[in-house]
Amino acid sequence: MMFEGLSEKFQNVFSGMRKKGKLDESDIKVANREIKLALLEADVNFKVVKSFTKSVSERAKGEEVLKSLTPGQQYIKVVNEEMVKMLGGEDQKLEISKDKLNIFMMIGLQGAGKTTTAAKIANLLRKEASLSPLLVAADVYRPAAIEQLKILGKELNIPVYFDDASQNPVEIAKKAKEIATEKGHDLVIIDTAGRLQIDETLMQELSDIDQSIQPTEKLLVVDGMTGQESVNVSKTFDDKLGITGVVLTKLDGDTRGGAALSVAYTTQKPIVFIGTGEKLSDIESFYPDRMASRILGMGDVLSLIDKAQNMVDEEEARRMEEKIRNASFDLNDFLDQLHQLQKMGSISSLLEMMPGVNKKALAGLDMAATEKQMKRTEAIIFSMTPEEREKPDIINGSRRKRIANGSGTSVADVNRLLKGFEQSRKMMKQMGNMGKRKRGRMKLPFM
Ligand SMILES: Nc1nc2c(ncn2[C@@H]2O[C@H](COP(=O)(O)OP(=O)(O)OP(=O)(O)O)[C@@H](O)[C@H]2O)c(=O)[nH]1
Ligand SMILES: [Mg+2]
């Protein structure tokens, strides 16, 4: 899988944080350091790493994380959001119009994957956007280049415009544009020549093609295996030609690939596609948010965090804290807490959404029993009088018997609940005494 090593490291950091109920500044510092090293090791550009970790640590130190009720989750959320930003943010799609001629110009160093990618994109957009593509062979320097594109076109049954006799890529591109209009194509993809290095002649030629046909997209093709050099190369191409988007190829390779991920940040241009193999179907549209989840190994955990956040009323949580501090937490509050938990959905369905949760281990856990236990707790509290709920201390032996009968449970069940409640109240009182700024999470006795 792409970015497997990086992904593993993030997951290690995160699972350590999830285990902790509370975080302090030094926890955050350690996690930030681990993330920084992981990114550098994956070959992400050091400037990008620096900016990334700076944003994460600023946000993590602030209100948002340390003072939240679930600091571990909030930290993960911040890292994810910054990762999305690093990969280009949201809403960066390729501009495709159904009413006018879309002209894509492929740009890049030799061997980056321009020709292959031109064919892949034509195929993808024919399928997904119902466009009618025309491929254009404007690499006139290597005779085999025209042949290569022709073969790809044939394989995909996509027409290829070429002119063996011409040595002028500008003329070829102009002519192709005319033909596309004539024949009713709505997508023209121009394959250009590559160079080993960026040189003036190449830039001039690309700039001439650009001026004369005004492409709607200038796509820079970057070989994902070339490491840090890709950052400089894309910056130069962008400065000279004003690219509109980036295609990262060869992300299927087993190299670290992190450098390529820095390209969106350094050029501030969106990554629009990634190449993931040699086959013509090995191309994907690029979405920063999806890639971030993939790298962070998060599965659905983000939607889970959002869900939990929406469900647990912040106001309610604050009210509860006040009570803890005043040590006036009673069985009514306890019941409220129980309801909050239930609102978040059944425990088993929540667990299933967590990445890395072993389904087999889940099956071994008796979820139904846990939920039944919650129901029983609820029934016991409902069988108490309002006074008993407010002042559990008055619940003596005969009251216990009555409550057990009323809730269809046993005296032992009632005892267990009251004991658990007493323990958590003690714990809360201690936390309340620890100072006003410390926040504790309530642990319910049946959990
Ligand atoms: N594994 C893998 N190989 C790729 C990918 N994209 C391109 N290639 C391979 O990379 C090699 C070069 O690809 P081309 O499309 O010819 O590159 P180019 O930029 O047109 O090269 P020049 O025309 O010489 O400048 C070919 O062998 C492709 O099959 C990819 O996403 N994954
Ligand atoms: Mg080529």
Co-location of 256 and 359 in the same domain: no
For residue 303, what are its two tokens? 């939607």
Do 167 and 137 meet the contact criterion of CB atoms below 8 Å apart?
A: no
For residue 233, what are its two tokens? 């190369």
Q: Which pLDDT tens digit goes with each residue over 335-387?
A: 776 666 665 545 555 555 444 444 444 454 555 666 777 788 889 999 999 89
Residue 247: beta bridge partners?
A: 221, 273
Co-location of 368 and 225 in the same domain: no
CATH number where 263 lies:
3.40.50.300
Residue 305 has a pLDDT of 56
Co-location of 343 and 416 in the same domain: yes
Is residue 444 in a domain? no
Residue 445 has a pLDDT of 39
d(CA 180, CA 316): 63
Q: Which residues have a beta carbon within 5 Å of ligand 2, which is an ion?
A: 114-115
Is residue 96 in a domain? no
Is residue 301 in a domain? no
Is residue 445 in a domain? no
Whether residue 391 is annotated as binding a ligand: the answer is: no
Mean pLDDT of 257-272: 88
Co-location of 241 and 337 in the same domain: no
Mean pLDDT of 111-126: 96
**Which of these three, 90, 115, 133, is where a domain ends?**
90
Co-location of 211 and 184 in the same domain: yes
Do 120 and 275 meet the contact criterion of CB atoms below 8 Å apart?
A: yes
Those residues with Cβ within 8 angstroms of residue 128's Cβ, 6 or more apart along the chain or in another chain: none
CATH number where 61 lies:
1.20.120.140
Q: Which pLDDT tens digit goes with each residue over 181-199?
A: 999 999 999 999 988 877 8
**Pocket probe mutation, ligand 1, options 105, 114, 116, 283, max atoms within 8 Å of Cβ:** 116
Is residue 440 in a domain? no
For residue 50, what are its two tokens? 């620096």
Residue 396 has a pLDDT of 94
Q: List Cα–Cα distances, 274 to 136, 158, 246, 284, in angstroms.
A: 21, 21, 9, 5
Whether residue 194 is annotated as binding a ligand: the answer is: yes
Residue 75 has pLDDT above 70, yes or no: yes
Please give the residue range of the domain that contains residue 54.
4-90
Ligand 1 pocket (Cβ < 6 Å) reads: 108, 110-116, 139, 145, 194, 221, 249-250, 252, 275-278, 282
From the CA of 205, how far away is ligand 2's center (Å)? 15
Q: Which pLDDT tens digit goes with each residue over 151-186?
A: 999 999 999 999 989 989 999 999 999 999 999 999
Question: What's the structural domain count of the chain?
Answer: 3
Q: Which pLDDT tens digit goes with each residue over 291-349?
A: 888 888 775 455 555 555 555 556 666 666 676 666 677 888 777 766 666 655 455 55
Residue 141 has a pLDDT of 87
For residue 139, what are its two tokens? 């690499």
d(CA 327, CA 325): 5
**Which of these three, 42, 60, 90, is where a domain ends?**
90
Co-location of 218 and 140 in the same domain: yes
Residue 431 has a pLDDT of 56
Is residue 439 in a domain? no
From the CA of 283, how far away is ligand 1's center (Å)? 12
Residue-averaged pLDDT of the chain = 82
Quick one: pLDDT band at residue 441, thresholds 50, 70, 90?
very low
User: Dihedral of CA 294/297/299/305: which sign?
Assistant: negative
Co-location of 129 and 44 in the same domain: no
Quick one: pLDDT band at residue 229, thresholds 50, 70, 90?
confident
Co-location of 329 and 402 in the same domain: yes
Residue 83 has pLDDT above 70, yes or no: yes
Residue 369 has a pLDDT of 65
For residue 410, what are its two tokens? 């046993």
Is residue 118 in a domain? yes
For residue 386, what are its two tokens? 């309002």
Q: Which pLDDT tens digit goes with each residue over 10-65?
A: 888 888 877 776 778 888 889 999 999 999 988 899 999 999 999 998 888 876 66
Nearest by Cα to 223 from 135, 107, 378: 107
Residue 77 has a pLDDT of 85
Residue 218 has a pLDDT of 97
Q: List Cα–Cα distances, 201 to 152, 168, 197, 198, 229, in angstroms.
A: 28, 13, 11, 9, 20
Residue 442 has a pLDDT of 39
Percent of the chain with pLDDT over 70: 78
Query: Which amino acid does the sequence have at 58?
Result: E
From the CA of 43, how far away is ligand 2's center (Å)? 27
Co-location of 240 and 325 in the same domain: no
Distance spanning both ends of the chain, measured CA to CA: 36
Q: List Cα–Cα distances, 337 to 21, 67, 218, 332, in angstroms.
A: 17, 20, 56, 9
Co-location of 182 and 261 in the same domain: yes
Quick one: pLDDT band at residue 428, thresholds 50, 70, 90?
low
d(CA 245, CA 29): 35
Whether residue 385 is annotated as binding a ligand: the answer is: no
Residue 425 has pLDDT above 80, yes or no: no
For the CA of 195, the nearest ligand: 1
Co-location of 85 and 158 in the same domain: no
Those residues with Cβ within 8 angstroms of residue 23's Cβ, 6 or more apart along the chain or in another chain: 17, 65, 66, 71, 72, 75
Residue 406 has a pLDDT of 92
From the CA of 279, how far away is ligand 1's center (Å)? 10
Residue 342 has a pLDDT of 61
29-36: which pairs have CB atoms within 8 A and are 24 or more residues apart? Answer: 29/57, 31/75, 32/56, 32/57, 32/60, 34/9, 35/9, 35/10, 35/79
Question: Which of 108-117, 296-305, 408-417 bottoms out in mean pLDDT, i.e. has the lowest?
Answer: 296-305
Task: Identify the residue with better confidence: 364 or 212.
Answer: 212
Co-location of 117 and 196 in the same domain: yes
Quick one: pLDDT band at residue 144, thresholds 50, 70, 90?
very high
